[in-house]
Structure 1
């Protein structure tokens, strides 16, 4: 799960790329690319990592990613049948397409505003399957128009959620650094467990004080705050979508005791876990 740079090659005769992905499971490593990306999950389930957010995904999940935002999807097996596939439609388009085409058209003002928001990643609650499928299934000029129409529909949506936290700002050249890759890899693999500063500093091959300065300089936040954001992203999803009681969710998300979980949750959301579940569940 290393944050790797991905080179995107557009389709011949097209200004952007469309792909239909069908795999036994999604297992791409943590990666980023300059292109914007629209990913629609046709079939499958698992966990989605975007920036410092961790959420479950399932069929119908639609996410718009901004340029150079680290991300990956990790599947859970659908059934014991090895022939079952996870499937997704992926659409990727360049920053030059946005700068030179969309920004030049006054009619696309709302789309440009949407893409500016996408620097944090955006999840859409409504289903836009027909619009996304049309982009994939058409060709030539009609495909370009279908993309603009799909983005226009998303720009008009009021039912969406920003994913990465506002302060998340790991830059691509820093993400590619081997040390930062190891930190992210270890954190995303182990956030449900107890991660001490000694252990994560050891992964980075730094002393604890040096590690704390290093991480704060590159992310704009402390490591403990970053780790808690990942845990709370998972906790919020479980509170809404899961029937686990709050003490079980506390343990599932890596918090060591219930009072600490309540305190951290309320400090970052303004609500207790129970109040959050009652409001959004």
Structure 2
């Protein structure tokens, strides 16, 4: 029998959102639970087995899942120190966002399919955790809920794919945002797709208007830009971390993407930090 959780039992009077941190036991859950609220959770540490009515999937650190009311599920730790951060969100808060920002419809909470899963890299996860700390110290009212949800939803909606894109391609493109994949360039994306390179290239041109190299290099340059403004690593180290040890090629790609050389970008956007040479 599925357990039903109600927001009236979880949210304090006058609040719209509640954050909970939980270390998961490795034992398989006896049953799934359902809820009348929207739920957002992410894997903070370790690995998690996510049980759904039809199947189960393994989630890694940085994976974020959006669930609607009526989507039953359960969580199980994989190994030691499996930690998740979970948000219970009042239905009116989520519906209000969609009413004012119709571009979110069809994405995340507002998707018509299975629970939506995204991945945050180490820096994006750090930003998400920073926002979570701010939320915990807030009144958890409508303003606090929107201050947390809106930036995240706007960013992830912009990263979403059209409904007609093949599932294998959308999954490969999402996986390509991981350093373990994009460091290997277009070959990493093609490998994770599990298809022949010409087929992947044709489908990416059709659905995204980009080649695999174009797509991966855009992700690499986004990663490089974040690193240049948040780390003190030498530019050559950042280039190598992107999978581009050839500095001439790295500079060419970065200037094309951002309009500055890497050093100019760092000097313009990283303030009051001693710059490495």
The alpha-carbon deviation at position 204 of structure 1 amounts to 3.6
Q: Secondary structure at the match of 2:232?
A: coil
* 1:23–1:257 CA distance, 2 compared to 1 (3 A): farther
Q: Could you list the per-position Cα deviations for residues 195-242 of structure 1 after superposition, in whole angstroms to 9, with x for gaps in the alignment? A: 438x8179442351x322201333343322210122122212221222
User: Structure 2 regions of 5+ residues with no counterpart?
Assistant: 25-36, 47-60, 69-78, 109-117, 119-123, 271-277
Q: Superposed, which structure 2 residues align to 1:21-32 within 5 Å? A: 21-23=21-23
In 2, distance between residues paired with 1:84 and 1:156?
30
Would the aligned equivalents of 2:98 and 2:104 in 1 still touch at CA under 8 Å? no
1:212 pairs with one of 201, 212, 223? 201
1:252 maps onto 2:249 in alignment = no
In 2, distance between residues paired with 1:163 and 1:103?
15
* 1:200–1:85 CA distance, 2 compared to 1 (3 A): closer
Higher CA-based Rg: 2
**Matched length:** 207
1:148 pairs with one of 132, 142, 148? 142
Would the aligned equivalents of 1:10 and 1:17 in 2 still touch at CA under 8 Å? no
Q: Superposed, which structure 2 residues align to 1:64-83 within 5 Å? A: none
Q: Could you list the per-position Cα deviations for residues 106-126 of structure 1 after superposition, in whole angstroms to 9, with x for gaps in the alignment? A: xxxxxx359859x79996898
1:266 pairs with one of 239, 255, 266? 255
* 1:261–1:130 CA distance, 2 compared to 1 (3 A): closer
Q: Secondary structure at the match of 2:87?
A: strand
In 2, distance between residues paired with 1:37 and 1:275?
42
The two structures have a TM-score, normalised by structure 1, of 0.51
In 2, distance between residues paired with 1:36 and 1:279?
40
* 1:133–1:252 CA distance, 2 compared to 1 (3 A): same
The alpha-carbon deviation at position 246 of structure 1 amounts to 0.7
Which structure has more RCO (C-alpha within 8 Å, separation ≥ 6)?
Answer: 1
* 1:156–1:178 CA distance, 2 compared to 1 (3 A): closer
Name the residue aligned to 2:184. 193
CA RMSD between the two structures: 5.2
Q: Secondary structure at the match of 1:170?
A: coil
Q: Could you list the per-position Cα deviations for residues 42-70 of structure 1 after superposition, in whole angstroms to 9, with x for gaps in the alignment? A: x879xxxxxxxxxxx99xxxx9x9x9xxx
